[in-house]
Amino acid sequence: MAMSNTTKLYNYWEQLYPGLSTEKLDNFISSLECHIDQTGSDDWYKDAIVYALYVNLYNSDFNGLTEKLDYLQKLGVNCLWLLPILESPMRDAGFDISKYDKIRPELLGLSPESTREEQELVFGAFLKEAHNRGIRVIFDVAINHTSDQHPWFLNSKQSERNHFSDYYIWSDKPDRYLDARLLFKGIEDSNWEKSGNRYYFHRFFSFQPDLNYRNPDVLLSMSKNLLYWQSVGVDGFRADAIPYLWKENGTSCENLDLTHVIVKFFRTVLDYVQPGTLLLAEACQKPYEVVKYLGDNDECHAAYHFPLMPMIFKAVAKGDSQPITHTLSTAVTPKINDENQWFTFLRVHDELSLEHVYVSEEDRSYIHENYCHKKEWDFRVGEGISARLAELFERDTNKIALSYSIMLTLLGTPVVYYGDEFGKLNDQDYYNEQIKLTGKDDTRFLVRGRIDWEHLESTLQEPENFHARVYNMISGLLNTRKEHKSFGRGTLDFLTILNEKGLTINRILGYTRSYKSEKILVINNLSSETQVLSNPLSDDNLALLTMNGFTMDEDYMILQPYGFAWFLVV
């Protein structure tokens, strides 16, 4: 018999805090009873096309974003991932949160003294307009750390003992957790930062102190933060920096068993009140480690597939399907439960990451050499490339379209990074502006920046303009994908592709996606040369769904350089 959510919460509590009184947990569970809403769609995220954006950079504030919902709906998007919107000093683009229950007032068009009720009115109106268009909304919550301006930390660092003294990790000497790797190599030189006569522990920037989950008040406080936004109407959360929650001396302080127990606790709390509220793991790890954050469908619903992204870039640079097929083989990517899902992407707000935790030195060197076209794009001493998709592909519309063809048709739920649908370029002015603001030379600022809508709308009216050509191709692909559940839910089977001489062509990435009675064939030419191939499904009738650089005669399929085609098998 399956355990009740209540029983699960008590079990997790005992694992985290053995022997500790359950009085605080008793009171917490009692407070949940009046909020229970068992309506909701459990796996809506499988059919999602996610669009990631910064509200202020996209169109000033939530009123501006609401004005663009029709644009997003037409584009083919049905889920928005709002990059950090919560109160923050903005030294790390909002991932340094100073209040978890408050959106930055300027994003709402409100004054700094605005009330929670005023916040809920403006944000609630935006959510209603999005939901009316069939667009779900999720946002980032950094659950591992806060800003050093958060009231919890401001109280914690006081010399006198108070309720918040143990909300963070303090030490008289920086001599604990020495085996924890330095995540911001080249930017930070230690995981400890001095404050007065003591040191506090941090895994990211020095102004982002790590929370102390050994204190049960931290666990319950963070749970209440998630529950508040769930009650407002948010459809899910991207759990930022999830592998680092629990620390143990003598370990790497990553992926520890009790970290998973914390995640199970959060999932159970959300399910207790309203099942179907997405919990998305941001775990920059190898897939066999990432799948542990899905648990037995009792941790996160979904997780990012980080290695697939650099392998798509490697496959296109090399003109060889092997990097992709190997990465998605069970040797690298374990099978996951039917209820769970991978999230895939080409670019996001971060760098094209080449961390050794999920690429080899050979991969890292090859991708860096082929895509870091300018010295100033280098991030973390060769462990990443800070550049927009259009810049990485040197504004080659065929390569951009091909990369989307691959990402949109392989396994999982795709994420579109704002502006990539029209080939947005690196923003040097925004980069310079942010360096002055933060005092940190963080080249990731290059891939952010604002959209000039008046200029863009004019540009998109010019069919031969680079941005218009990219937009027309990408929006067409997104809307085609949206019509077929096989892409989000179906099985993936790679095909052996033969040329006109009957020889295997590794330059073609071909596969089928199948779900229930629907079957789709996808072929992608990864090379800079025209490829002639035999129809891999010659016994079936094929209906063309979309293509770029594709022709077909009676005997063969012909793909131009970086061409592709999607077919419905009928």
**Active-site amino acid positions:** 240, 282
The string over 208-218, giving b where at least 16 C-beta atoms fall within 10 Å of a residue's C-beta and e elsewhere, is: bbbbbbebbeb
Distance CA 241, CA 417 (A): 19
Residue labelled with tokens 């992608």 = 524
How does 260-275 read in b/e, with b if 16+ C-beta sit within 10 Å?
A: bbbbbbbbbbbbbbbe
Rounded Cα distance between 43 and 507, Å, is 35
Contact (Cβ atoms closer than 8 angstroms) between residue 340 and residue 299: no
Q: Running DSSP on this structure, what letter comes out for residue 447?
A: G
Residues 142-171: b if buried by 16+ CB within 10 A, e if exposed: bbbbbbbbbebbeebbeeeeeebbebbbbe
- Name residue, tokens 């396994």: 411
Between CA 117 and CA 229 the distance in angstroms is 13
Residue ranges with strand state E in 83-156:
86-87, 99-103, 136-142
Rounded to the nearest angstrom, the gap between the alpha carbon of residue 240 and the centroid of all alpha carbons in its chain is 9
Separation CA 475–CA 409 (nearest Å): 14
C-alpha closest to that of 99 among 114, 115, 86: 86
Closest CA to 5 of 197, 273, 224, 360: 273
CA distances in angstroms from 264 to 227, 284, 316, listed in the order given? 15, 19, 38
Q: What is the rounded distance in angstroms from the CA atom of residue 403 to the CA atom of residue 564? A: 10
